[in-house]
Structure 1
Amino acid sequence: MALTDTALKALKPKEAPYTVTDDRGLYVEVLTTGSIVWRYRYRLNGKREKLTLGKYPDLTLKNARLKRDEAAQLVAMGESPAKKKQQAKVAGGENTTVAEFAERFFRDIQQRDRKNTTIPRRYLDKDILPHIGSKPIKDITAEDMRSVIWRKKDQGFDAAAGQIRGLLKRMLDYALTCGLIQANPVMALPMRHVYRAQARERALTEDEIRRFLRAMQQSNIRRQFKIALQLILMTLVRKSELLQAQWKDVHLDQHEWHIPVENSKTGKPHIVYLSTQAAMLFRELKTLASTSDWVMPGRGTLSKPFAHNALNSALKVSLQDQDIPAFTIHDLRRTASTLLHEQGWPSDVVEKALNHTIGGVRGVYNRAEYAEQRKEMLQAWADFIDGLAPTSNLVVDLERV
C-alpha cells in the first residue's frame, strides 16, 4: 500500500533499522537515530541497485516520487542513476567546465603527487584556461588540445609545449576515471610529435665560462639576473631553487642558505654552504629586493618572484653576438659538476652539493652530509670562478660587504 503523509509522520525508530515501501521501487528506511531516508530500488542489466534520494521531511513524499520517476527514466535508457550520482559527487555535474574540473584535479591529484605545483599551475592559468577554461569538459576535442599545445610550440617553446601536453593528459585521465569523458583526446597527439627530449651533455670549458661571465656582466640585462646567473654557477643550485628562495631561509651570518622540502627536487631539505663570494652576491640581492620576502621579487611587484622563463630570456640576451655554442641554465650545473670532478673533488661530495639522490646500495647506506668538505669545495670553486670573472664586478658598494 502506498505511503501517505500521515503514515510518514507516524513512523518511529526501533532497535534496528526497518523499511516501509511506497510504490514502484520507492521506499523509506527508518534509522535507529530517527532519521527517515528515501531510497529507490531498481534492477539494471539483471543486477539490483539502489539510489538514495534524500531525507524526509526535507524531501517530501511528492518530490521523492518525482525523483524516483526521473531515476526510472535513466534505468529505462540503460543508465545507472546510482553511478551517475556518484560520478557527479566525485567530479561535478556533466556540464562541469574545464576550469571547474581543473581545480578538483589540482586539489585531489596534482598536489598529492607533486612536491611543487608552481610551474603546472602557471601553465594552467596562462596557457590552458584562457583558451578552453569555460568549455564543458565533456565537449573537449583533440582539436582543442592541439590548439592549446601548438600555440606554445609556435612561440618557440617546444619543451614547454611538451609539459603542457603532459599536464592535459594527466588531467583528462582523471576526468576519464570520473566518468566525465569517454576517451582522452590528448592521446590523439603523441608526445613524439610535440617534443622529443634529448639527453644533454653540454658542459662549458674554462674559456667558455670566462667569456660567458664577462659578456653576461657587461650586458644590459637586469642586475638581479646577472647575480642570479653567477650564483647558479657558483652554488650549483637549480634555477627553480633560486627563484623560489625566500629571505627567511638565507642565513648570511652563518653563510648558509637552507632550501626547504617544498623547493627541493629530491623532496628533502638541503643546505647550500655559501662561499665569501656567494654571500656577497646575496647581500646585493637583499638590497635589490627591498622589503620583499622573496630573494628575487618579480618585475613591478614585491609579492611574488620572477616568472620561470625570466632567467632563460636573460641568458639569451647576454649571449647575443657571442661566439659561444648554445647552452641552458641547467648546463651550468653540469659544467660545475664536470670541472669539480676534473679538479679531483670526491664524487659523493660533488653529488651532495648538487643535491642529487645517490642511487643503489650506496645511496641507501651513505647518509653522510660532507658539510666541511662541501664548504671547502664551494669556496675553492668560487675562487676559481672569481679568477675568470670577478664577482666584485656585480657589487655596487664594496664597503657593505
Structure 2
Amino acid sequence: MPRQAIPLTDTKIRALKPKNERYRVSDAGGLLLEVMPSGSKIWRYRYQLHGVRQAPLTIGPYPEISLAAARKQRDEWAELVARGESPKRAVQAAKAEKRNTVAAFAEGWLAEQLEGKSTSYQKTMRRVMEKDVLPWLGGMPLTEVKPGDVLELCDRIKSRGSPKMALQTRNVVKRMYDYAIARRMVENNPAAALVARFIATEESRTRALSGDEVGKVLRAIYASDIRRALKLALHLLVITMVRKTELTEGKWEEIDLEGGVWDIPAERMKKDRPHRVYLSRQAKELLLELRALAGHSAYLFPSTRGSDDRPISGSTLNQAVRALSLDVQHFVLHDFRRTASTHLHEMGHPSDAIEKALAHKIVGIKGVYNRAQYADQRKVIMQAWADFVQAQIEGAKVTPLFKTA
C-alpha cells in the first residue's frame, strides 16, 4: 500500500532549505512543491490520465501562489482528470484565450470591415477603435469583457460631452462581437446587453435654422473674439454647403478663384466621389482674405500649433461655436447643410440641382443626365444662397462682413 503524503503547512514550506539538487515534497492528491537549488519553490501537479503517467503541470511559484490557491488549482485539474479530460489541454486553451485579446481580435476584424469602404468610413471606424475602444478594452481577453466594461467605456465618452459618439462606440463593439460569435470565438455579446436608448437617442436630425436664426448665429460669430480665420471658416461653411472636414482640410491647390470653382478630390469626400463647389461672390471675397491670413500654408485653415504645416482639427469649429452664447436652441454645425437645402427648396430652386450642390447622389438616369445644366443651375443656387445669408446678417445693420473684425 503506497505511503500517504503528509499535508504541507506554511510553516513546513518556509522551513524547506535548498540543496545541491532540486527536490520535491508532496502535499496530497498529486500536488508537489519543487525546491530549486536557488531557493525558489515551484508548485506542480502530477497526475495520470487513462492509466498513463503524464508530465507534471506547473501551477506557479510559492509564495506568490499560496498553499490554498495551489490546492484549489489541483482540485480543479483533478476534476478534469476524473472526467477523462486533459488538464494540459485546458491550460493551453486558457493561454490561447488570454493571447486573444480585444486588440488582437480587433486588428483582423477591422481589416476585413474596412476593405473596399470609403475613406471617411475608414477614418470614423479607426477613430472609434483607436481613440476609445482599444485604450479601454484592448488589453482584455475577448471572452472576459462584460457589459459593465462596455457601459463604463460609454460613460467615459459621454462624460466628455459626446453621447452620440458613445452610442456609436457601443454599436461598433456590438458589431465586432457579433462577428466573433459567428466565428465561435465567444458565446456572448457584452454590448448587446446595453439598451441603446439608455446611452443616447440615435434620432435623425431635422433641425433647419430660420432666416432670423441664420442671421443671429453669424452676427454672434463676427461679434465674438474668436480668431478672424475661424469667423471666415464658419461663414464659408454656411454658404458653400460643404461638410465640416471638407472645409477644414481644404487646400489652396483645390481652389481656382479666377474660375470661381473649388474642386474637392474624391479622397476627401464622404462618398469617395470628387465634388465641385461653384463659388459665390461672397465666397470669393472670404477666400481672398483667408489667402492673406494663411501665409505660405498649403491649407486654407492652417493650425496655429506646432511648426508642421497641417490644418486645424475637425473639432476646432465646434469648440469655437460652443464658446459663444448663442440664442439659438439645439443647433449643431451640420444643420447648416439642411438649412440651406430647406430654404433653397422654399425659394423654388430645382431639387436635383440642390442635391448635387450638397454632393448627394441622384439615383437613376437623372443622376447622369445633362450635367452642364446642373452646373448652370448650381451656380445660380450658390449665389442665391449666399445672397440670402448675407441679407439675414445685414438685416440687423451690422458692420460690413468683409472688414477686419
Q: TM-score range, shorter-chain basis?
A: 0.5 to 0.7
Higher alpha-carbon deviation: 111-120 or 161-170 = 111-120
Report the equivalent of 1:393: 401
Matched, 1:272 2:280: no
Matched, 1:108 2:116: no
Contact 1:289 1:296 in 2 (8 A): yes
Matched, 1:157 2:142: no
The aligned amino acid for 1:218 is: A
CA distance in 2, matches of 1:122, 1:307: 13
Report the equivalent of 2:244: 239
CA distance in 1, matches of 2:328, 2:143: 49
Matched, 1:309 2:312: no
Cα deviation, 1:117-167, whole Å, max 9, x if unaligned, reads: 223322322222222222233322222211111111233321111111122
Q: If the length of structure 1 is used for normalisation, what is the TM-score?
A: 0.68
- C-alpha displacement at 1:219, in angstroms? 1.0
Say which of 120, 135, 141 aligns to 2:146.
141
Contact 2:118 2:272 in 1 (8 A): no
Report the equivalent of 2:174: 169
Report the equivalent of 1:97: 101
The aligned amino acid for 2:315 is: N
Report the equivalent of 1:63: none
CA distance in 1, matches of 2:109, 2:309: 26
Matched, 1:379 2:383: yes
Contact 1:227 1:394 in 2 (8 A): no
The aligned amino acid for 1:393 is: L
- C-alpha displacement at 1:168, in angstroms? 1.7
Cα distance change of structure 1 residues 364 and 355 upon mapping to structure 2, 3 Å threshold: closer
Q: If the length of structure 2 is used for normalisation, what is the TM-score?
A: 0.67
The aligned amino acid for 2:155 is: W
Higher alpha-carbon deviation: 187-196 or 258-267 = 258-267
- C-alpha displacement at 1:304, in angstroms? 4.1
**Once superposed, what is the RMSD of the aligned Cα atoms?**
3.3
Higher alpha-carbon deviation: 332-341 or 279-288 = 279-288
Matched, 1:339 2:347: no
Cα distance change of structure 1 residues 280 and 178 upon mapping to structure 2, 3 Å threshold: farther
CA distance in 2, matches of 1:303, 1:184: 43
CA distance in 2, matches of 1:185, 1:121: 21
Contact 1:351 1:358 in 2 (8 A): yes
- C-alpha displacement at 1:352, in angstroms? 1.1
Cα distance change of structure 1 residues 364 and 152 upon mapping to structure 2, 3 Å threshold: same
Matched, 1:194 2:199: yes
- C-alpha displacement at 1:339, in angstroms? 1.4
CA distance in 1, matches of 2:261, 2:403: 20
- C-alpha displacement at 1:396, in angstroms? 4.0
Say which of 352, 357, 364 aligns to 1:348.
352
Cα distance change of structure 1 residues 111 and 277 upon mapping to structure 2, 3 Å threshold: farther
Report the equivalent of 2:53: none
Contact 2:100 2:142 in 1 (8 A): yes
CA distance in 2, matches of 1:269, 1:378: 18
Corresponding pairs, count: 312
Secondary structure of residue in 2 paired with 1:186: coil
Secondary structure of residue in 2 paired with 1:257: strand
Contact 2:263 2:276 in 1 (8 A): yes
Cα deviation, 1:292-341, whole Å, max 9, x if unaligned, reads: 443333451445433333222222223x0x43333111211111112112
- C-alpha displacement at 1:277, in angstroms? 1.7
Report the equivalent of 1:121: 126
Cα distance change of structure 1 residues 96 and 204 upon mapping to structure 2, 3 Å threshold: same
Cα distance change of structure 1 residues 251 and 98 upon mapping to structure 2, 3 Å threshold: farther
- Counting only pairs closer than 5 Å after superposition, residues 54-69 of structure 1 correspond to structure 2 as none
Percent of aligned pairs sharing the same letter: 37
The aligned amino acid for 1:135 is: M
CA distance in 2, matches of 1:288, 1:176: 54
- C-alpha displacement at 1:392, in angstroms? 5.9
- C-alpha displacement at 1:178, in angstroms? 4.5
Secondary structure of residue in 1 paired with 2:267: helix
- C-alpha displacement at 1:111, in angstroms? 4.4
Report the equivalent of 2:227: 222
Secondary structure of residue in 2 paired with 1:380: helix
CA distance in 2, matches of 1:109, 1:209: 39
The aligned amino acid for 1:187 is: A
Cα distance change of structure 1 residues 368 and 77 upon mapping to structure 2, 3 Å threshold: farther
Cα distance change of structure 1 residues 109 and 238 upon mapping to structure 2, 3 Å threshold: same
Structure 1: stretches of 5+ with no match in the other structure: 1-72, 86-91
CA distance in 2, matches of 1:176, 1:246: 44
